[in-house]
Structure 1
Amino acid sequence: MAYDLQKESDVKEYIEKLGIEYRFGCYSEKKPDVCHLLGDYLESIKKDFEKASKVYRSNCDDYGYGKSCLKFGHYSFLGKGKSSANEKGDPKQAFKYYERGCDLKDPESCLHSGLLLVSKSLSSSIERDVKKGFELLTKACKMDNANACFYLSGMYISGVPKKDIKPDSKPTDPSDFIVQKDMKKAFEFATRACDMNNMYACANLSQMYQRGDGTEKNEQKAADLKKKALGMQDEIKKQQRELKFQQGIGT
């Protein structure tokens, strides 16, 4: 049957049929990719976050679908999809599912599990483990996750001292660091992230070429990368303006 997506009745019928197809493909044919699509359908179309959460969790636990582990990790972290709106997020459970997704070779899951472990702000909820977090971020970067490469670059730019170093001290011995400052490695990871169009990495890379940090000075490359970063920034602003305009039409 051909649907006229300009007609509201046809759109509603198409959406309902889509939901039926996803349910059949998930529950009857047991296809993990279709189960994930069912979760997305329940989330974005039906706005039934509790059901979507259950689908994502089941698809991760029962079928080992990495992207669903990532989604349920997000739900767990935010406290989304709970039966009670007052239930808070659970970083420990989120990490469990992010790590599961990472084991299943989902790069975004590796990124988020790594970020949870290196975060200082979550140390009261989840034990900080910079070494393991660094390894997870490295794994994500190797799977071409631009954000992970960018964060690794930042860790090499500043260095990460051991937590038992006094706040007012300035550690200099290599043994004082979990990740030692290394501008050459920072440059390498920033280059990789910029090549994958991470705007912030391109901006940092521009400064590195300008100052000669981790590489030889090159004003032309610095200018080119600055132009690239500003171009990406303008594109993001344009997309945000278009989104706000479209939202305004519907009000």
Structure 2
Amino acid sequence: YDLKSEEDVKEYLKNLGTEYRFGCFKEKKPEVCHLLGDYLEAISKDFQKAAKVYKSNCEDYSFSKSCYKMGNYHMLGKGGVPQSHEKSLEYYDKGCDLGDIDSCFRAGVVSVLSSKKKKPFSTFNHGVERLRKGCDGKHGDACHHLSALYMDGSNNKGDHLPKDMKKAFEYAVKACDLGNIQACVNVSIMYMRGEGVEKDQEKSNKYKNIAMEKKKEIERQKQLIFQEGLKPA
């Protein structure tokens, strides 16, 4: 395939779908089933079929990324599945237990938010544990959320997380190292104020510059993608 004509592209995508179906339904390869789900979602726009594939691949084959996808589908009420944050947490938890750090992050956020509701279906402590697992797996946003939780502390409905600026600082540094811009800004401010760490204006400036450079890099990437999109086929 040279993929220069629209017909070539259509033929290529059709054959790709056939290949994924064979690999999933006949050869029963979980990683191919997940690719089939992605194909149905992104190319065919058949969200109901995609949901069925993800659901089966998570429940029958314990494929972590498919559990994450089902968590998203229940979070949004997408693909004909009922919108249920409680159900989404079940899938995120399973994905997390199977080693998917995106699932750990989502499970953490959903649990923390749930713990603040009148009828919680999860606990604050469970959310912290999931975020910690995500952070240990090098998920920058999970580290950033943990940092924020330690900045505030919590005594919410029996759950207890003491305010700890030293831990907040440590998680902020880790989140910054993993690419979270806001965490870099927070590290800069904490060095400037001496919160959780000794005051150090030089290091404050260093992290401020890191944040600015990361922001510029994101803008450069956006511009690059935009320019690529403008190129003639």
1:49 partnered with 2:47: yes
Stretches of structure 2 lacking an aligned partner (at least 5 in a row): none
Structure 1 residue 124 displacement after superposition: 5.4
1:180 partnered with 2:162: yes
Counterpart for residue 92 of structure 2 = 98
CA contact (8 A) 2:115 2:121 kept: no
Q: 3-state SS of the aligned residue for 1:179?
A: coil
CA contact (8 A) 2:147 2:167 kept: yes
Counterpart for residue 189 of structure 2 = 207
Stretches of structure 1 lacking an aligned partner (at least 5 in a row): 165-176
Of 110, 113, 123 in structure 1, the residue corresponding to residue 107 of structure 2 is 113
CA contact (8 A) 1:205 1:225 kept: yes
- Measure, in 2, the Cα distance between the counterparts of 1:122 and 1:57: 29
- Measure, in 1, the Cα distance between the counterparts of 2:117 and 2:30: 34
CA contact (8 A) 2:116 2:156 kept: no
CA contact (8 A) 2:193 2:199 kept: yes
Structure 2-normalised TM-score? 0.91
Q: Which amino acid aligns with 2:112?
A: V
Counterpart for residue 141 of structure 1 = 135
Identical columns (%) = 47
Map Cα deviations across residues 56-104 of structure 1 (whole Å, 9 max, x no partner).
1110000000000000100011000017xxxx52111101111111111
1:129 partnered with 2:127: no
- Measure, in 2, the Cα distance between the counterparts of 1:26 and 1:124: 43
Q: Which amino acid aligns with 1:25?
A: G
- Measure, in 2, the Cα distance between the counterparts of 1:128 and 1:29: 38
Mapping for residues 15-30 of structure 1, pairs under 5 Å: 15-30=13-28
Q: 3-state SS of the aligned residue for 2:60?
A: helix
Map Cα deviations across residues 133-167 of structure 1 (whole Å, 9 max, x no partner).
11111111111111111111001111112337xxx
When the two structures are aligned, how many residues end up with a matched partner?
Answer: 232
CA contact (8 A) 2:30 2:57 kept: yes
Counterpart for residue 158 of structure 1 = 152
More helix by share: 2
